[in-house]
A and B are shown apart, each in its own frame.
Chain A
Amino acid sequence: MARQSVEGKGLFKPQKFTLKSGTKIDSRFPASTYVIITIILLILISAYITEFSIVKLIERGNEFFTIPLQMFPPDLSYIETVIPPLLETIQMSLIGSFIGCVLALPVAFLASSNINHNKIILKITRSILTLFRTLPVLIYATIFTYIFGFGAFAGTLAIIIFTFAVVSKMLYDNIETIELGPYEALLSAGSTKPRAIVTAVFPQVLPHFFSTSLYSLEMNIRSSAILGYVGAGGIGVLIDFTLNWTLYAKFGTIFVCLFIVVIAVESLSRYLRGRLS
């Protein structure tokens, strides 16, 4: 062994090795010790702020099942009432995702640094997209219900804006990774920029675009339950009603229907996305 003497255990400070030749070397700085200590401190602080108590959780944990137990067996006679708003939810998600994705396609090109070389427009587009993305669907829906009144329109508008912001971001991340050779070849052959984008960039981006669109549809169907809760149309309105009146068996029916729809849309979307890639 070349090492002669070792100083310290290397827990808080790097270990110091003195080699036979007299050279002193340090081991790597033990960052993980400090990271772990910070995380433990943050856990303690968070637990203090949120009044988290394990004792309470163990003592009253069984209360968690009071609502689910009343949900089953579901009240199947309620199914006739559930279907129309459920269809409305699907319609809202479909049209919302569709319009949101169509709007996202051109904007994503404006926000890709390899296609759009105008730094100012790039920065502005990206900032606006970031701003849109920070707010959850729920907040949009709430604001729109105050402006446009309760109903599906406010919810659909919220879905459109949210889908637009998320899909644009996913899309410009993808556009920035494409092969630019064909596009530049067309430009140097005298093609116009839009023409070059359609011929050389679209074929590379479209599969990803369709896959993202399907993914956003999945996401929107899942989040649409919340929309109705603030009065923006769809199945959530019924969820709000049944929960407020503690009609948990009826809520069970809604839940089962929603579950089936989510699973169906998810499986279909996964199958189609598998075909795309």
Chain B
Amino acid sequence: MDKKFDKHLYKKLEEEPNRLVQNIIIIVLVSILVIWSASVIDIPEINDKGKEIAKNIVMSIFHPNTDILFSLSETGVPALLIETLAIAFLGTLIGAVLAIPLAFLSSKNIVPRWVTFPGVASITFIRTFPVFIIGLMFISVSGPGPMAGVLTMAVTSVGMIAKLYIDVIEDLNDGIIEFLDSAGCNTTEKVFAGVFPQLMTNFISITIYRFEINVKNASVLGLVGAGGIGYPLLAAMGNSRWNDASAYLIGLIFMVIVIEIFSTKIRARLSYGK
């Protein structure tokens, strides 16, 4: 080995900051947290009833109730899936529209910093509310049913959509706007020719992404009776009608996978062009 080269390597090695102490502190802290939390896992003894239920669940996955799965009536799986999709679609769209003004009012490059505060605070506030509580509040507005689901989806989507919109708006390329300025455009023209084209693809992509999440989470609405496939699914599980539950689950999984594939395809096309 070349001695000089060796020396150079050692010098490089010595230049590397010594993170040993830092790493040890982090490892100790994490271990303490993990050990503290591990006390929560009190592995229960699975009694015969639990085993029986587990067996029933596994068996029923392969024997879904085909009457419900392919029934075209209002309580069949296809109708429920369409209702779920409709709730998620309308909810996401309303949320996406509401998020636009909120996001502009919360972006530091659009309005002064102190103006952004209420917007940012309300976004955080909305995001903390568990979905089913917003659902309960809307049920007192519209009564149980899919309309409460739409409103719930709209409000819960606003938080995340606005947060992602803000990131996009704060990344706006000022150069283009300055360029339009020097070309003599007025404010409206600047917004339509310089701002919208930059934002639109990202906004649409974010909205589709949230639609995907809303479809996935739609079963939560069933907890409070706000429409969709969630309620029949939870009710079937509650009454140990596992074959029915399996039919609903298969429908749900199928729908989520299809939506995920489409969403990924469309978003890839939006971000890379054709």
Contact = CB atoms under 8 A, between A and B. Distances in A.
Contacts of A209: none
Nearest to A149: B44
Interface in A117-156: 130-131, 134-136, 138-139, 142-143, 146-149, 151-153, 156
B124 A263 contact: yes
A64 B237 contact: no
A162 B145 CA distance: 28
Given A49-B86, A50-B146, A135-B253, A94 B34 contact: yes
Interface residues of B, number: 62
Contacts of A148: 44, 46, 50
B83 interface: yes
A43 interface: yes
Nearest to A152: B40
Contacts of B86: 45-46, 49-50
Interface stretch (A16-24, A73-81, A85-93, A192-200): A85-93
Interface residues of A, number: 59
Contacts of A90: 37
B83 A50 contact: yes
B265 to A, nearest CB: 15
A51 B41 contact: no
B273 interface: no
A42 interface: yes
- B interface, over-half SS: helix
Given A95-B37, A148-B50, A136 B220 contact: yes
- A interface, over-half SS: helix
B165 interface: no
Contact of A67 (B41, B136, B151): B136
A56 to B, nearest CB: 6
B131 A64 contact: no
B141 A61 contact: yes
B213 to A, nearest CB: 10
Contact of A57 (B127, B129, B151, B233): B151
Given A134-B253, A146-B237, A147-B50, A57 B141 contact: yes
Interface string B35-62: 0111111111010001001100100000
Given A95-B37, A139-B219, A67 B46 contact: no
Among A95, A229, A233: residue with most chain B CB under 10 A? A95
Contacts of B253: 131, 134-135
A225 to B, nearest CB: 4
B249 interface: yes
Interface string A209-230: 0000000000000100110011
A49 B84 CA distance: 10
B141 A51 contact: no
Contacts of A230: 223, 234
A259 interface: yes
A143 B146 contact: no
B138 A64 contact: yes
B256 A51 contact: no
Contact of A139 (B33, B39, B249): B249
A60 B137 CA distance: 12
A134 B216 contact: yes
Contact of A63 (B33, B140, B233): B140
Contacts of B151: 57
B256 A46 contact: no
Contact of B237 (A52, A61, A88, A142): A142
Nearest first, the 8 closest Cβ-Cβ pairs linking A and B are A46-B86, A50-B146, A91-B37, A95-B37, A225-B130, A94-B37, A134-B256, A49-B86
22 contacts: A46-B86, A47-B90, A49-B86, A50-B86, A52-B150, A56-B141, A56-B142, A67-B140, A91-B37, A92-B40, A136-B216, A139-B249, A148-B44, A148-B50, A149-B44, A222-B128, A222-B130, A226-B130, A226-B132, A255-B129, A255-B133, A262-B128
Given A45-B86, A57-B142, A152-B40, 13 more contacts: A46-B87, A49-B82, A50-B149, A60-B142, A64-B140, A94-B34, A130-B257, A134-B253, A138-B219, A149-B44, A226-B223, A255-B128, A255-B129
Interface of A: 39, 42-43, 45-47, 49-53, 56-57, 60-61, 63-68, 88, 90-92, 94-95, 98, 130-131, 134-136, 138-139, 142-143, 146-149, 151-153, 156, 222, 225-226, 229-230, 233, 239, 243, 255, 258-259, 262-263, 266
